[in-house]
């Protein structure tokens, strides 16, 4: 995980049972990463990701019967590409995430 998350100061988690392992604590300690857990019963602590996770489940995961892990990866990749490259988001001024990132990058340069 360290190679996937270079120079990360903290990671925010839901307070789920999958995140209470000694391995995760060990990794965080040695990589100088603070584990920031949401407050119990407070999904509004991460509203943006809760919304995104619900959208992935509703629009992708619940719509397909995956025949294999490779099939799941392919279907999810197709959904992700559509979500990021083709669908305007009102929270981004009706731009796609790709357009928004490109325009933000250009604005910072110029």
pLDDT tens string 11-51: 666 656 655 678 878 888 888 888 777 777 676 777 777 78
pLDDT, one tens digit per residue, over 54-109 is 899 999 999 999 999 999 999 999 999 999 999 999 989 999 999 999 998 766 77
Eight-class DSSP state of 38: P
What does the alpha-carbon distance between residue 17 and residue 37 come to, in Å, rounded to a whole number? Answer: 11
């Amino acid at each position: 995980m360290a190679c996937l998350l270079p120079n990360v100061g903290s990671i925010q988690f839901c307070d789920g049972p999958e995140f209470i392992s000694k391995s995760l604590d060990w990794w965080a300690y040695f990589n100088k990463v603070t584990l920031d857990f949401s407050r119990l019963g407070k999904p509004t602590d991460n509203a943006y990701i809760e919304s995104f996770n619900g959208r992935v489940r509703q629009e992708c995961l619940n719509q397909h019967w995956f025949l294999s892990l490779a099939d799941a990866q392919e279907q999810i990749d197709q959904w992700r590409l559509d979500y990021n490259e083709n669908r305007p988001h009102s929270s981004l001024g009706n731009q796609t995430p790709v357009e928004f990132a490109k325009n933000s990058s250009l604005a910072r340069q110029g």
